[in-house]
Amino acid sequence: MTFLSKPLRMTLYVPAVALVLAAAAAPEAPPHERKIVAGLQIVFGAEPEPAITDEVQLLVWRISDVASKEPFTELEDAQVTVTFEGETFGPFPLRPVRGEPGRYQTRHIFTEVGSYGTVLRFRKGEDSQEHTVDFEFRIRPRSDLELPGRRRGG
């Protein structure tokens, strides 16, 4: 027995299904973050995702010119620092990815779960002005992905 008319049920059903599908499709972590600095769009993320402890993680920056939308390949003196719980690590040189113009990365193994920060410092080509851009990211425990989980004890 239903108290709602068929047209009203359909009117409520369609938005409800759309909300459930949107929630199911939404990623657990936010997508790669984007910022614009000095006329460049900088997209940051960790790969592979999710970023976990005790595995090689790449911190990746995709950089393109805002006006032309073309990959930007003329970074100079580019370096990265990583912060965790008030401690700064680095600087690490930012390396271009061979065969992928405008894509740069650093490689790390994170041993602690938590929120991290990163600051990219660079110059655009021959320009003497230094630019910086910062991003936050999270490292999750590797155990979240292990199947079966590790057994404790002997």
CATH node for 33-144: 2.60.40.1220
- List the pLDDT tens digit at each of the 154 positions of the chain: 455 566 655 554 444 444 433 333 333 334 578 999 999 999 999 999 999 999 999 999 999 999 999 999 999 999 999 999 999 999 999 999 999 999 999 999 999 999 999 999 999 999 999 999 999 999 999 998 888 877 766 5
Q: Which two tokens stand for residue 118?
A: 């990163």
pTM of the model: 0.75
Count the neighbouring beta carbons within 10 Å of the beta carbon of residue 2. 7
Backbone angles phi, psi at 139, to 5 degrees: -110, 125
Q: Is residue 75 a contact partner of residue 132, using CB atoms and an 8 Å limit?
A: no
Q: Residues 32, 133, 59, 105: is their CA dihedral positive or negative?
A: positive
